[in-house]
Amino acid sequence: MSAPRRIKIPTCALVGVIASVDELRLATGMRAPPDLFELRLDHLPNLRESQLLKLRQPLIITARHPAEGGKKVRSARRDLLLKFLPRAKFVDVELRSLHELGPVWDEARRRRVGRICSFHDFKRTPEPAVLHRKLLRARKAGADVFKVVTRAEDFRDLLTLFELLWIELAGMRLCVMASGKFGPISRLFFRDAGSSLIYAPLRHPLHQGQLTFQELRGQHDF
């Protein structure tokens, strides 16, 4: 496949995660919003396009697979993503879902929407060789950003993620974070280590180790 395009991303971009109607209301009235908003469509299956008109920042859209922390929805994830793709700056598709959501991935390229290929493991941090192979698959698929979130319960896990970021950053844009015990420090430390994106729920953490938008802003100069 062709080499991934270099989609312009602020260094480092703070992403505010919207996963509830309450957070959507909050986002529309923010005086100092994050660089981007992520719409968790698996948490907002009945979202209407008209509800997004007041959002001032670019959007990342995703409908997460249940095996990677997503919420089961009656609507097909493909349909949800295609519906909101025209409004998106980026779309996030899990590495495991590239075949299932191939029409979304291809349409995003046609529309010149940035493509984030992601991998989430909320139980553990895989070995470095496993993460490297996943990165190579994301690069081959033409991803603009490879996003990795794993559970880090000891310092070795944190070092594994840091080494991935530090060693592989020259090859493509990366977004690397941890959940679990070392989740908070990863979101502070990895920003300065080169992670292109750092995510923070606007109000309600979805996983252990997440810092909310206000907590992250209060602890670091975003």
As given in the structure block, the two tokens for residue 85 are 């793709």
- What stretch of H or E contains 170? none
106 alpha carbon, distance to own chain's centre: 19
Catalytically annotated residues: 120, 147
- Strand runs labelled E in 49-133: 59-62, 90-94, 114-121
Report yes or no on 169 lying in a domain.
yes
* Alpha-carbon torsion angle 49, 93, 89, 197, nearest 10: 120
Report yes or no on 148 lying in a domain.
yes
pLDDT at 217: 81
CA 172/CA 149 separation, integer angstroms: 16
Query: What pTM value is reported for the model?
Result: 0.92
CATH at residue 112: 3.20.20.70
Give the domain range for residue 38. Answer: 13-217
How many domains, in total, are found in the chain? 1
Report yes or no on 222 lying in a domain.
no
pLDDT tens digits in sequence order for the chain, 222 residues long:
444 455 554 468 999 999 999 999 999 999 999 999 999 999 999 999 999 988 989 999 999 999 999 998 877 999 999 999 999 999 999 999 999 999 999 999 999 999 999 999 999 999 999 999 999 999 999 999 999 999 999 999 999 999 999 999 889 999 999 999 999 999 999 988 999 999 999 998 999 999 999 998 876 555
Report yes or no on 2 lying in a domain.
no
Report yes or no on 130 lying in a domain.
yes
CA 117/CA 146 separation, integer angstroms: 5
Crossing angle (nearest 10°) for helices 155-168 and 128-140: 40
- Strand runs labelled E in the chain: 13-18, 36-40, 59-62, 90-94, 114-121, 145-151, 173-179, 197-201
pLDDT at 158: 97
pLDDT at 149: 98
pLDDT at 75: 77
Report yes or no on 90 lying in a domain.
yes
